[in-house]
């Protein structure tokens, strides 16, 4: 089965966490993701280039968690592969796998920006009724 870039069901369930009269939680989470992840990718790329498997494993593990939280399925999968390779000490694999993670983030970022700009209509609108 094809792994989606961004699981809309997860986005919808995050949006539903918004409290009446409060800012949209989905907006907050996605903005946090876009602000936080690039610096972690940078650190990850450096660790991979330096062959520091432990740092790569830790960074990939944490990225896997963040990706899972917003339903970024493909990034989650690639980060898991990178973490596994790092834990098994496959140093020659690290650079290529870290690069795959970086490329997936670029694709994901543009999709997230679309969601943030409201271009995505398959998401339930924020409700302040309950």
Partner 1 sequence: VPGPFLEVLVADDDPVSRTVVAAMVRKAGFAVTLANDGKAAWTALSADPAPTLALLDWEMPGLDGPEVLRRVRERATATPTYVILLTSRVATADIVAGLKAGANDYITKPANHEELLARLGVGARVVELQQALADRVRRLEEALANVRTLQGLLPICSYCKAIRNDKNYWEKVETYFSDHSGVQFSHSYCPACYVRFVKPQLDALDDLGPARGR
Q: Which of 100, 109, 49 is nearest to 79 (CA)?
A: 100
3-state secondary structure of 4: coil
> Using an 8 Å Cβ cutoff, are 86 and 94 in contact?
yes
Give the nearest distance from C-beta 76 to partner 1 in angstroms. Answer: 9
Work out whether 3 is an interface residue with partner 1 (CB under 8 A): no
Q: What is the CA radius of gyration of the chain?
A: 16
Please report, to the nearest 10 degrees, the dihedral formed by the alpha carbons of residues 49, 84, 34, 68 taken in order: 180
Enumerate residues 55-114 that contact partner 1 by CB under 8 A.
58, 61-62, 64-66, 68-70
Give the nearest distance from C-beta 104 to partner 1 in angstroms. Answer: 16
Q: Which lies closer to partner 1 via its Cβ, residue 69 or residue 120?
A: 69
- List of residues contacting partner 1 (CB under 8 A): 13-14, 17-19, 25, 28-29, 32-33, 36, 58, 61-62, 64-66, 68-70
């Amino acid at each position: 089965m094809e792994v989606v870039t961004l699981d809309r069901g997860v986005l919808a369930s995050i949006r539903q966490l918004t409290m009446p009269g409060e800012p949209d939680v989905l907006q907050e989470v996605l903005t946090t993701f876009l602000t936080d992840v690039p610096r972690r990718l940078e650190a990850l790329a450096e660790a991979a280039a330096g062959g520091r498997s432990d740092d790569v494993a830790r960074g990939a593990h944490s990225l896997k968690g963040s990706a899972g939280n917003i339903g970024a399925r493909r990034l989650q999968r690639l980060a898991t592969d990178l973490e596994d390779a790092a834990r098994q000490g496959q140093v020659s694999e690290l650079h290529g796998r870290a690069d795959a993670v970086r490329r997936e983030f670029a694709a994901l970022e543009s999709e997230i920006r679309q969601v943030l700009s409201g271009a995505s209509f398959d998401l339930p609108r924020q409700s302040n009724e309950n």
